[in-house]
Amino acid sequence: MEATTTTTSTTTHHVISIVNGGEESVGQNNNSNKEKSRVVKLLSLVPIASCCCYVNLDTRKTIHSIKVGVSLVLVSLFYLLNPLFDQVGENAMWAIMTVVVTFEFYPGATLGKGINRGLGTILGGAMGVLTAIFAQTIGGIANSIIIAILIFVSGSVATYFRLVPSIKKRYDYGVMIFILTFNLVAVSGVRVEDPVWEIARQRLLTIVMGFIVCVCVNIFVFPLWASDELHHSLVTIFFNLANTIQGCLLEQEEDAKFVTEKEKEKESSSAVNNKFSLCNSVLDSKSKHELLANFAKWEPWHGKFGFSYPWEKYLKIGQVLRELAAFLLTVGNCLQASKQAMALLKESHSIQLESWEAIGSKVSWALRELGDSIKEMRKLDDDSNSISTKLKAAKAELSLVISMSKVSSLDNEEVLAIASFVLLLSQVLDKVDQLVKEVDELGHLAAFPTH
C-alpha cells in the first residue's frame, strides 16, 4: 500500500490528509474533509460573533450615555425654570446629585441603588431629626455631647453591618447613605434656624424626584436589561465549550505535520492557546454573572422574566460550566504535554480514534442541545432522556478508546498519558451529565414550556 501526503495550509488552519490507495478510501477521505471544512467554517464564525458583540456593546454604551444626559437635563429644570425653583429652592441640587450617583447601566442596578438610597435617606433622616430634637430639648453643652455620642454609636454600628457579607452584597449603598444622612441632619439641626424636620422633608422630596426621573428614563427609554445579558452569556458559554471540544477533535485528526521542531512547538502552543482561549474567558465569568444576577433580581417583570425568577440556578449552572471549562483546559494541556506519546499510540493503532471522535461529538452535541434549551426557554423532558442515554453510551465507548491488548506493550510514560487522558475525559462526561440535571431543574423552576 502506497501513501501519498497532501498538505493544504491557510492563514489560520492547516489540514493534513493521508490518502491511501483505493477508491473507497478516497471517497471516505473526501467526506471527512467536507465534514472538517464545515466544522472549520463554524469555528471561524466565533471571532466574527465576538466582533458583533463588541459593536453591540459600544452601541449600548452610547445609549446609556445619552440616557444619563437626558436625565440630567430633566432634573436641571428644577433650577432653570422659575416656577419649579420657587417650589424646591436650593434643595434642587439633591435631585441632580441623585441622578449622578444613582443612574446605572442596567435598570435593575438603578432600582436597587435607588431603593437603597431611599431607605437609607428615610431611616437616616428620621433618626437624625429625632436626635436633633432631643438634643435641642436638653440644650446647653449637653446638646453637642449627646449628638457626638449618637453619631459615634450610629456610625460604628452601621459600619459594622456594612462588613456583614449578606448585607454588603445588596444593601451596602443603603447603609452608607444612612450614615451620611444621619450625620448631615443631626449636625445641621444644631446651627440652622428652620425646623430640622422641614429640611429633611424637602431634601427627601427632591431625592425622590431625582430617583423617579432615573427609573422612568432607564426603564422606558431603550432599557438594557441585566437579565437578558446574563441569559445570553450563559447560552454563549454552552456553544463556546461545544466549539472548543469540536476544535480539539480537529486537532486529533491531524496525523502528520511537515514542519521543523521549532516551528512545530510554536505552532502547537499557539493552536492550544487559540482553541482553549474560550475556556479561559469562561473561568473569568464568575464575578460578572454574580453581579448580573444581583441586578436581575431588582428588575421588574419584563418579557419572559418574571418576579422570583430562579437566577440562583443560573449561577449554579455557571459554576458547573466553569468546572467543565477547567477540565477541558486540563485535557488540552494533557494532549499537548503527551503529544509525542499519543502520536505513537495512534500510529500503532493502540488508540481507537473513531471512538474518541464519537465521544467528543456526543459531548459537543449535548452542550449545544442544552444551550438551545436555555436559549429557547423550553423544557428538556424527552430531550433530557435522549441526552442522558447518549452520555451513558459515550461512557461505555470510553473503554473502547484503548486497545488493552496493545497497551500492555507500551512504556510507563505512554500508559500514564493514556490513563490521564481517559480519566479527564470521564470527568468531562460526568460534568455534562450534571449540566443535564441542572438545566432540567431550571426548566421546572422557571416553568418553561415543553415545546
pLDDT of residue 253: 52
The yes/no answer on whether domain 226-446 falls in CATH 3.40.50.11540 is no
- C-alpha–C-alpha distance, residues 26 and 28, integer Å: 5
Nearest to 423 by CA among 407, 406, 399, 389: 399
Per-residue pLDDT tens digits for 356-386: 777 888 888 999 999 999 999 988 866 667 8
pLDDT band at 276 (very low <50, low <70, confident <90, very high): low
HSE-up (13 A, CA, CB side) for residue 298:
23
- Angle, CA of 362, 365 and 371, to the nearest 5°: 140
What is the mean pLDDT of the segment spanning 331-341? 68
pLDDT of residue 216: 93
Tell me whether residue 428 is exposed, middle or buried, using C-beta atoms within 10 angstroms of its C-beta: 0 to 12, 13 to 18, 19 or more.
Answer: buried
Which position has the grid cell 480514534?
353
Domain ranges of the chain: 56-220, 226-446
Q: Are 217 and 69 in contact (CB under 8 A)?
A: no
- For residues 353, 358, 361, 367, the Cα torsion angle rounded to the nearest 10 degrees is -120
pLDDT of residue 153: 92
Q: Are 406 and 346 in contact (CB under 8 A)?
A: no
Per-residue pLDDT tens digits for 110-133: 998 989 988 998 899 888 888 888
Per-residue pLDDT tens digits for 414-434: 667 777 777 888 888 889 999
Q: Are 327 and 427 in contact (CB under 8 A)?
A: yes
Per-residue pLDDT tens digits for 162-218: 999 888 888 899 999 999 989 888 887 666 666 767 777 888 888 889 999 999 999
- C-alpha–C-alpha distance, residues 241 and 153, integer Å: 53
pLDDT band at 73 (very low <50, low <70, confident <90, very high): very high
Q: Is the pLDDT of residue 312 over 90?
A: yes
| CA 435 to the chain's CA centroid | 16
| Percent of the chain whose predicted confidence (pLDDT) is above 70 | 70
